[in-house]
Amino acid sequence: MNYQYWNEKMETLPRPELEAYQLSQLKSTVDRALRTTFYKDTFIKAGIRSSDDIKSLADLQRIPFTTKHDLREGFPYGFLSIPLDDVVRLHASSGTTGIPTTIYFSAADLKRWAGFVARCIYGTGCTKSDVFQNMITYGLFTGGLGFHAGGEEIGMLVIPSGAGNTTRQFRLMQDFGTTVVHATPSFLLHVEAKMKEEGISRESLKLKKAFAGAEPYSEDTRRRIEALLHIDVYNSYGLSEMNGPGVAFECQHKDGLHLWEDGYIAEIVNPETLEPLPDGEVGELVITCLCREATTLLRYRTRDLSAFYTEPCPCGRTHRRLRRITGRTDDMLIINGVNLFPSQIEEVIMGIREVGNNYLIVVEKEGVMDRLTVKTEVGADIFMDDTRPLNALKEKIRKTLQASITINPRVELHENGSLPVSEGKAVRVQDKRPRDV
């Protein structure tokens, strides 16, 4: 395989040098943190008075964790470590799990962020000759402007098409010969059906690659998109608290996401005890941002679940790889006492060939019991008026799910293209149970 690095020195820095660099960045981050109203207090309580108290990377453990709740408490400027006058932009999270949080950037922060995103894009084999259509929400959400800047940094022709409106997306792809797109995996799954509907042939497009992120998806979903659109799909991970996209990304091997350790220190901890977990074990990802001067965040609990690979990657990058994020700690559903992550359902149903590209999970109360219903679309080649094969498929989905999740779900089949599609992050779960107050 031919590898290309955007920043070869940093991407292949030997581990001892990478860790020495992290330590120096951590020290300046601690000094910056002491200028924020939030950390001033928490650091004093933890006995940290200056960066001199941080002598090795192990001293990171002395720093308290920061949660989304802290960010909301510190709204609007509790984490700001530079004068407001030097801030040039703000972004906010999507608010998937509550009130959005706000992150501020200086001009230098934006430049560094674009560099990290460029690294990700370039590492998949893209060059300045590629035409990049960014089919994701622009605005406060970081995916739009974040990828936009990364593409421009490389010198690609960037088309800021934004999310949704497949008709216009196809037109742009045809008019300008788009070779690479960025979108949510759920939108990409939806694209092929729309192509058929609008009579767009695959041959009329020059598409080669897609970057898919912003929400969890399974390996089977990736393969499905790749097969439907005849492209390579690369997993992109980021979160607004850590700038946005450009935190971790797959290289050409598509096996684990390299987390840029010169910009971020990542830990995997047990979400209950908060103790560090050994490489390979799944836990909550905790990140310290080293590459931003405006908003300072240390040991931020992402609530995302992942694990570190134990082996280095053949691509030569020395930055550790994360396993595909399977969901968030707070995504977990408890159904009649059994713990269930939506990703477990996706893994099963996307592996069944006859199942279409969209699904919905509904949880309700029936008397004292919880009731799980999995609604899936059927494949485009299945007729809804022929009940025998439909019943057989329903039974197959039910049995395969039950064997895997130990819960007996109700399965509903819906016509291809009939379940709701969201323009941004997909909403896959409807929990209709009354909440305890």
Question: Under the rule (CB under 5 A), what is the footprint of Zn ion?
Answer: 251, 313, 315, 317
From the list Zn ion, ligand ADP, none, which binds 328 (C-beta under 5 to 8 Å, kind-based)?
Answer: ligand ADP
Nearer to Zn ion, 98 or 312 (CB): 312
Nearer to ligand ADP, 237 or 260 (CB): 237
Q: What is the distance between the alpha carbons of residues 368 and 188, in angstroms, rounded to a whole number?
A: 39
Smallest gap from Cβ 316 to Zn ion, in A, equals 7
Q: Give the largest Cα separation in the chain, rounded.
A: 73
Q: Closest Cα partner for 213 from 271, 152, 146?
A: 146
Q: What is the distance between the alpha carbons of residues 301 and 286, in angstroms, rounded to a whole number?
A: 5
Nearer to Zn ion, 219 or 415 (CB): 219
From the list Zn ion, ligand ADP, none, which binds 63 (C-beta under 5 to 8 Å, kind-based)?
Answer: none
Q: What is the distance between the alpha carbons of residues 242 and 258, in angstroms, rounded to a whole number?
A: 15
Element housing 369 (H / E): strand 369-378
Bridge partner residues of 308 (DSSP): 322
Nearer to ligand ADP, 39 or 300 (CB): 300
From the list Zn ion, ligand ADP, none, which binds 26 (C-beta under 5 to 8 Å, kind-based)?
Answer: none
Smallest gap from Cβ 361 to ligand ADP, in A, equals 16
Smallest gap from Cβ 103 to ligand ADP, in A, equals 9
223: left (phi over 0), alpha (psi -120 to 50) or beta: alpha
Nearer to ligand ADP, 140 or 157 (CB): 140
Nearer to ligand ADP, 150 or 238 (CB): 238
Smallest gap from Cβ 394 to ligand ADP, in A, equals 29
3-state secondary structure of 361: strand
Smallest gap from Cβ 102 to ligand ADP, in A, equals 11
DSSP label of 312: P
Smallest gap from Cβ 253 to ligand ADP, in A, equals 16
Q: Which two tokens stand for residue 11?
A: 């991407």
Nearer to Zn ion, 209 or 301 (CB): 209
Give the binding site for ligand ADP (CB under 6 A). 93-97, 141, 213-216, 235-240, 302, 304, 325, 328
From the list ligand ADP, Zn ion, none, which binds 94 (C-beta under 5 to 8 Å, kind-based)?
Answer: ligand ADP
- Is residue 357 within 8 Å of residue 185, measured between CB atoms? no
Smallest gap from Cβ 311 to Zn ion, in A, equals 11
CA distances from 199 to 135, 171, 181, 194, 300 (A): 20, 12, 20, 8, 47
Amino acid identity, position 433: R
DSSP label of 50: S
Q: What are phi and psi of 29, to 5 degrees?
A: -65, -40
Instruction: Characterize 86-120 residue by residue with b for buried, 16 or more Cβ atoms within 10 angstroms of its Cβ, and e for exposed.
Output: ebeeebebbeeeeebbbbbbbeebbebbbbbbbbb
Angle between the 342-349 and 387-405 helix axes, to the nearest 10 degrees? Answer: 130
From the list ligand ADP, Zn ion, none, which binds 271 (C-beta under 5 to 8 Å, kind-based)?
Answer: none
Smallest gap from Cβ 184 to ligand ADP, in A, equals 9
Nearer to Zn ion, 13 or 251 (CB): 251
From the list Zn ion, ligand ADP, none, which binds 251 (C-beta under 5 to 8 Å, kind-based)?
Answer: Zn ion
Smallest gap from Cβ 185 to ligand ADP, in A, equals 8
From the list ligand ADP, Zn ion, none, which binds 315 (C-beta under 5 to 8 Å, kind-based)?
Answer: Zn ion
From the list Zn ion, ligand ADP, none, which binds 289 (C-beta under 5 to 8 Å, kind-based)?
Answer: none
Nearer to ligand ADP, 11 or 304 (CB): 304
Element housing 192 (H / E): helix 185-197
DSSP string, 267-294: EEE-TTT--B--TT--EEEEEEE-S-SS
From the list ligand ADP, Zn ion, none, which binds 215 (C-beta under 5 to 8 Å, kind-based)?
Answer: ligand ADP
From the list ligand ADP, Zn ion, none, which binds 129 (C-beta under 5 to 8 Å, kind-based)?
Answer: none
Within 10 Å of residue 49's Cβ, how many Cβ atoms?
11
Q: What is the distance between the alpha carbons of residues 164 and 145, in angstroms, rounded to a whole number?
A: 16
Q: What is the distance between the alpha carbons of residues 177 and 171, in angstroms, rounded to a whole number?
A: 10
Nearer to ligand ADP, 150 or 213 (CB): 213
Smallest gap from Cβ 317 to Zn ion, in A, equals 5
